[in-house]
Amino acid sequence: MNDNQDNREGGGGEPRMPRFTFNNRIALISLLILTTLFVFLFVRSDRTGMQEISYTSFQTYLEQGRIESVKIVDEYEIQGAFKSGDSRVSLFKTTIPYHDDTLMPALRSAGVKVSGGPRAISPLQVLLEFLPWLVGFFFIWFMFRQVQGSGNKAFSFGKSRAKRYLDTAKRITFVDVAGQDEAKYELQEVVEFLKSPQKFVRLGAKIPKGVLLVGMPGTGKTLLAKAIAGEANVAFFHMSGSDFVEMFVGVGASRVRDLFEQGRRHAPCILFIDELDAVGRTRGAGYGGGHDEREQTLNQMLVEMDGFDTKDGVIILAATNRPDVLDPALLRPGRFDRQVVIDMPDIRERELILRLHAKRLPVAADVDLDRIARATPGSSGADLANLVNEAALFAGRSGKDRVDMDDFEEARDKSLMGIARKSKVIPPKEKQMVACHEAGHGLLHYYLKNADPLHKITIIPHGRALGVAFSLPEDDTYSHSQAWLIDRITIAMGGYAAERIVYGETTTGAQNDLEQATEIARRMICEWGMSPSLGPIAYGQKEEPIFLGKEIARHKDYSEDTARTIDVEVKRIVESALANAEHLLVEHRDKLQLLADTLLVKENMNDDEIRSLLGFPARHRGGENGAAAGSVAGPAAGGTPQGS
């Protein structure tokens, strides 16, 4: 959906007002008429025919008896008239330069009619005094009209900022969403109800008032919402949860009312709220107590969704990746009746997503997307889209006409391990220790029966790691056995053990390995009940302040004796795994040294190259169906963090 096209129409679906409307033209014409009137009055006042004469001439005319009448203005100016036929100019004016005590007696002796009064106001003076105010008022009014007519709505804080979806040339439908068959089935039902409501109404069924899309970031929640907009032939409004809340109190609740009012005017319609957790968090959990702007907004949303004055035909579609922080009243039936889980794609869905994004690329014949799909476990749809784009960038950087398998492999390695820093200069001695460390991780994969197959070893720095050895399972796994976890800890301790065997000491490069091994061992005891001495009991409750939105501590709900027992058990598991790793590496010391020396030369070695080097049989992949795919715990224990 094109955002530029979205902005063509406001929340109410009405066309945006032009910049210069008919009312603005009327105001401009009125201002021009007013200005013309002032100019006309000024010109008219300037054509009175009154002649300016000196005070000396005035006294001479007075002595000659030529003046008929005078008007003394403000004691300083004389305006008068000559006797008829006595002069070409009948009116005159003069200024009294000094206080003249003989003026009035002279006027009386000459028989002149005398009057007085204030100075008349000049139209020019009125224009100069009032014109700035008129222009300022017109300017403010004009700007107010312009802002009101634009899309900013700067003076409409309480109006909804929802944008209406418009059909464009690139219309997204369910066909454009790879995988997620169950989610599409649930949402297709909503679309069918909007298209053919009688099919459900005749059976007494009611459409869900709200559908909540729940899933990890990047799984395609917003994409599914766009697909619903493309499938349904009804009005579709979309906005973010953060658009409701502003610095002004009551704005959020007002926008909620306006949003639902728009929906009722365009019913049947769909209102989509992205990132619902921005406004729908549990009430009473923040610092502000109950009187909080976000809570007022949520209360208004609860009333609009299922209150006394609700109407059918308005469906609320929302998306969030934090359903655990939402208010229970928001999730009850009658509001969000249905929660649709958008899960991480499995192997089949990852391949479909890769093929969907690879359609727009000139792909070489050697590209095996099934192998890439199996080598990217735990990747979301957004991750896979980025992988395809990175492969195209690598091909373009190399000047190729097509994107081949090497480009996809390089893009996958970048997404899994980080960008390769080939220019980083590492001292030879340190590089040897890194090669020994990673060889210790990699070699154990071939002697532990529950370990995942090794995928690749590299001593080229990636991200913050100086070297990486990681494994990928042959199939997607959702739970692990105790034996797999023990082997995982053993592999994590392989680099530490290799350094002790070869150099008699360890380095700071084992920091990440020790953290990973200790974390797995502690969770085995405290969460998964895998300790014979402590039994199947969970120790430590999570403390998760709702207003922070994440776990920050673990409550110690056990005694000091139990804490000591947990520490002893963790140490026992880790030390047992270390002893097993040292035993295997000492037993195969020659292969450890050979692998480390070869890594110093090649810097990168995959599973096939290592098997060929060490004389292991080739791994059967079932026609590439068992090619590498990744573990839930992430890249294998083998990272050597930089600066650790």
CATH assignment at residue 320? 3.40.50.300
**321 & 365 share domain:** no
Query: What are the E-state strand segments in 307-384?
Result: 314-320, 338-342
Q: Do 172 and 75 reside in the same domain of the chain?
A: no
> Is 126 part of any domain?
no
The contacts of residue 529 (CB under 8 Å, 6+ apart) are 535, 536, 537, 538
Domain stops at, among 327, 342, 357: 342
Give the domain-ending residue among 58, 85, 119: 119
Same domain, yes or no: 597 and 536? yes
pLDDT number for residue 523: 92
Q: How would residue 368 be classed by pLDDT, with cut points 50, 70 and 90? A: confident
DSSP state of 493: T
Q: What is the CATH number of the domain that holds 61?
A: 3.30.720.210
Q: Are residues 327 and 367 in the same domain?
A: no
38 in a domain, yes or no? no
C-alpha pair distances (Å), 148 with each of 45, 87, 142, 548: 42, 64, 10, 38
Domain shared by 283 and 388, yes or no: no
Do 534 and 454 sit in the same domain of this protein? yes
178, two tokens: 């790879």
Q: What is the CATH number of the domain that holds 516?
A: 1.20.58.760
pLDDT at residue 630 above 50? no
Query: Radius of gyration over alpha carbons of the chain, in Å?
Result: 43
Q: Does the residue 240 lie in any domain?
A: yes
Q: Comparing C-alpha atoms, which of 268, 353, 345, 358 is closest to residue 313? A: 268
State yes or no: is 551 an active-site residue.
no
Check pLDDT > 70 for residue 125.
no
Please provide residue 178's backbone torsions phi and psi, each rounded to the nearest 5 degrees.
-80, 135
Closest to 384 in 3D by CA, of 361, 352, 360: 352
Give the number of C-alpha atoms closer than 13 A to the C-alpha of residue 359, restricted to the C-beta side.
8
Average pLDDT, the chain: 77
| Number of domains observed in the structure of the chain | 4
Contact 162, 271 (CB under 8 A): yes
Instruction: Write the CA distances from 351 to 274, 374, 375, 511, 547, integer angstroms.
Output: 27, 8, 11, 36, 38
Question: Other CB atoms closer than 10 Å to residue 191's CB: what's the count?
Answer: 22
* 561: containing domain: 428-614
- Report percent pLDDT > 70 for the chain: 75
> What are 114-123's pLDDT values in tens digits?
887 776 666 6
Q: Which of 267-281, 483-497, 562-576 has the lowest mean pLDDT?
A: 267-281
- Residue 35 domain-assigned? no
In whole angstroms, give the CA distance from residue 554 to residue 540: 6
Q: Distance between CA 35 and CA 147 in Å, rounded?
A: 26
Count Cβ neighbours within 10 Å for each residue of 589-619 and write b for 16 or more, e otherwise. Answer: eebbebbbebbeeebebebeebbeebeeeee
Distance, CA of 448 to chain centre:
45
Q: Is the dihedral of CA 131, 134, 138, 141 positive or negative?
A: positive
| Same domain assignment for residues 374 and 514 | no
Q: What is the mean pLDDT of residues 433-439?
A: 92
Claim to verify: residue 179 and residue 320 sit in the same structural domain: yes
Q: Determine the pLDDT at residue 565.
A: 92
CB contact at 8 A, 553 and 541? no
pLDDT of residue 98: 80
How would you classify the pairing of strands 163-164 and 235-240? Answer: antiparallel
- Three-class SS of 261-272: HHHHHCCCEEEE
What's the gap between Cα 437 and its chain centre? 41
Residue 543 has pLDDT above 60, yes or no: no
Residues 255 and 357 in one domain: no
In a shared domain, residues 358 and 462? no
For residue range 572-622, what is the model confidence (pLDDT) as tens digits? 999 999 999 999 999 999 999 999 999 988 888 888 889 989 888 887 654
Is position 634 within any domain? no
Task: Give the end of a domain, one of 342, 364, 397.
Answer: 342
Query: How far is residue 72's CA from residue 88's CA, in Å, rounded to a whole number?
Result: 22
Are 241 and 273 a contacting pair, CB within 8 Å?
A: yes
pLDDT per position as a tens digit, 379-427: 888 889 999 999 999 999 888 899 999 889 888 888 777 777 766 667 8
0.85 cut: is pTM over it?
no
212-252 residue pLDDT tens: 899 888 888 888 888 887 787 777 887 877 777 665 566 77
Q: Which pLDDT band holds residue 277 (cuts at 50, 70, 90)?
A: confident
Contacts of 625 (CB under 8 A, 6+ apart): 370, 374
- Which has more pLDDT, 625 or 129? 129
495 belongs to a structural domain? yes
Indicate if 359 and 326 belong to the same structural domain: no
The angle formed by the CA atoms of residues 519, 520 and 523, to the nearest 5 degrees, is 85
The pLDDT score that the predictor gives to residue 166 is: 57
Give yes or no: residues 436 and 584 share one domain. yes
The predicted structure's pLDDT at residue 167: 56
CA–CA distance, 456 with 441 (Å, rounded to integer): 11
Give the C-alpha separation, 483 to 481, whole Å.
5
Amino acid symbol at 45: S
| CATH number of 352's domain | 1.10.8.60
Q: What pairing do the DSSP bridges indicate for beta strands 468-471 and 541-543?
A: unpaired
* pLDDT for residue 475: 74
Question: Would residue 635 count as lying in a domain?
Answer: no
For residue 285, CA distances in Å to 329, 461, 495 come to 14, 44, 45
The DSSP 8-state label assigned to residue 579 in this structure reads H
Q: Among the options 231, 351, 438, 569, which is catalytic?
A: 438
- On whether the CB atoms of residues 330 and 301 are closer than 8 A, the answer is yes
Q: What is the largest CA-CA distance in the chain?
A: 145
Cis previous bond, 268, omega within 30:
yes
Select from 267, 213, 207, 273 the least CA-distant residue to 239: 273
Q: Within a domain: residue 39?
A: no
